[in-house]
Amino acid sequence: MVVVAAVVPDPTWDKPHERWSFGATGAAVVDAPMAIAHNDRPPVLADGVQLIGEYEGSGFKEPPSLLRRADGQVIQLPPLLYFVAAKADGASDYARIAQAVGDEIHRGLDAEQVRFLVDEKLRPLGIVADPDGTTQEVAKPDPFLGLKFRMSVIPERVSNLLGAMFRRLFLPPVVVAVLAAFVAADVWLFVRHGVAQAVRQSIYNPALFLALFAGIVLSAGFHEIGHAAACRYGGGRPGKMGCGLYLAWPAFYTDVTDAYRLGKRDRLRTDLGGVYFNVVVILATIGAYLLTGFEPLLLLAVVQHFEIAHQLLPIVRLDGYYIVADLTGVPDLFARIGPILRSALPWRRAEDDVRVLERWVRVAVTAWVLLVVPLLLFQLLMLLVHLPRIVGTGWSSGARLWRGAAGAFAASEPLTALSSAVQLVVLAIPIVGIILVLWKVGRGIAGWMWRTTSGRPQPAPT
Residue 227's pLDDT is what?
Answer: 95
Residue 360's pLDDT is what?
Answer: 92
**Does residue 457 have a pLDDT over 70?**
no
Residue 324's pLDDT is what?
Answer: 93
Strands of 305-428, DSSP E = none
**Does residue 168 have a pLDDT over 90?**
yes
Residue 380's pLDDT is what?
Answer: 74
The dihedrals phi and psi of 125, each to the nearest 5 degrees, come to -90, 0
Q: Which H/E stretch holds residue 149?
A: strand 148-154
Q: How many CB atoms lie within 10 A of CB 326?
A: 24
Residue 242's pLDDT is what?
Answer: 87
Q: List, for residues 408-443, the tens digit of each pLDDT value.
A: 777 777 766 776 777 777 777 677 767 776 777 677
Residue 458's pLDDT is what?
Answer: 57
DSSP state letters, 28-67? HHHTS--------SPPBBPTT-EEEEE-TT--BSS--EEE
| Residue 346: CA count within 13 A, CB half-sphere | 0
Give pairs for 180-189: CB < 8 Å, separation 24+: 181/283, 182/279, 182/282, 182/283, 185/282, 185/283, 185/286, 185/301, 188/286, 189/286, 189/298, 189/301, 189/302
**Coil/strand/helix, residue 431:** helix
Distance CA 456, CA 51 (A): 44
| CB-based contact 97:112 (threshold 8 Å) | no
Residue 30's pLDDT is what?
Answer: 43
**Highest mean pLDDT out of 142-156, 275-289, 306-320, 422-436:** 275-289
**Does residue 460 have a pLDDT over 80?**
no
| CB-based contact 364:44 (threshold 8 Å) | no
Longest dimension (CA), the chain: 86
| CB-based contact 66:260 (threshold 8 Å) | yes
| CB-based contact 25:64 (threshold 8 Å) | no
User: What is the average per-residue pLDDT within 393-405?
Assistant: 77
**Does residue 8 have a pLDDT over 80?**
no
Q: What is the DSSP letter of 460?
A: P
**Coil/strand/helix, residue 123:** coil
The dihedrals phi and psi of 147, each to the nearest 5 degrees, come to -75, 130
**Coil/strand/helix, residue 98:** helix
**Alpha-helical regions (H) of 94-206:** 94-105, 111-117, 156-166, 172-187, 196-203
| Residue 28: CA count within 13 A, CB half-sphere | 11
**Coil/strand/helix, residue 252:** strand
Distance CA 6, CA 108 (A): 33
**Does residue 246 have a pLDDT over 60?**
yes
Sorting pLDDT into bands at 50, 70 and 90, what band is 393? confident
Alpha-carbon torsion, ordered 350, 354, 359, 364, to 10 deg:
-120
| CB-based contact 74:66 (threshold 8 Å) | yes
**Does residue 319 have a pLDDT over 70?**
yes
Sorting pLDDT into bands at 50, 70 and 90, what band is 21? very low
**Of the listed ranges 31-35, 107-111, 123-127, 259-263, the one predicted with least confidence:** 31-35
Percent pLDDT > 90 in the chain is 22
This model's pTM is above 0.95: no
Sorting pLDDT into bands at 50, 70 and 90, what band is 159? very high
User: What is the average per-residue pLDDT within 366-394?
Assistant: 81
Distance CA 89, CA 389 (A): 61
Sorting pLDDT into bands at 50, 70 and 90, what band is 42? confident
Sorting pLDDT into bands at 50, 70 and 90, what band is 158? very high
User: What is the average per-residue pLDDT within 273-292?
Assistant: 94
Instruction: Lay out the sheet containing 7-8: strands in order across.
Output: 7-8, 74-77, 65-68, 50-54
Strands of 212-360, DSSP E = 241-246, 249-254
**Does residue 445 have a pLDDT over 90?**
no
Distance CA 210, CA 309 (A): 23
Percent pLDDT > 70 in the chain is 82
Residue 24's pLDDT is what?
Answer: 33
Residue 193's pLDDT is what?
Answer: 86
Mean pLDDT rounded to a whole number for the chain: 80
Instruction: Lay out the sheet containing 249-254: strands in order across.
Output: 148-154, 241-246, 249-254
User: What is the average per-residue pLDDT within 152-172?
Assistant: 92
Residue 50's pLDDT is what?
Answer: 86
In single-letter form, the type of residue at position 296 comes to P
**Of the listed ranges 50-54, 205-209, 249-253, the one predicted with least confidence:** 205-209
User: What is the average per-residue pLDDT within 114-127?
Assistant: 88
Sorting pLDDT into bands at 50, 70 and 90, what band is 25? very low
Sorting pLDDT into bands at 50, 70 and 90, what band is 203? low
Residue 147's pLDDT is what?
Answer: 67
| CB-based contact 46:126 (threshold 8 Å) | yes
Distance CA 95, CA 113 (A): 10
Distance CA 402, CA 396 (A): 10
Q: How many CB atoms lie within 10 A of CB 425?
A: 12
In single-letter form, the type of residue at position 189 comes to L
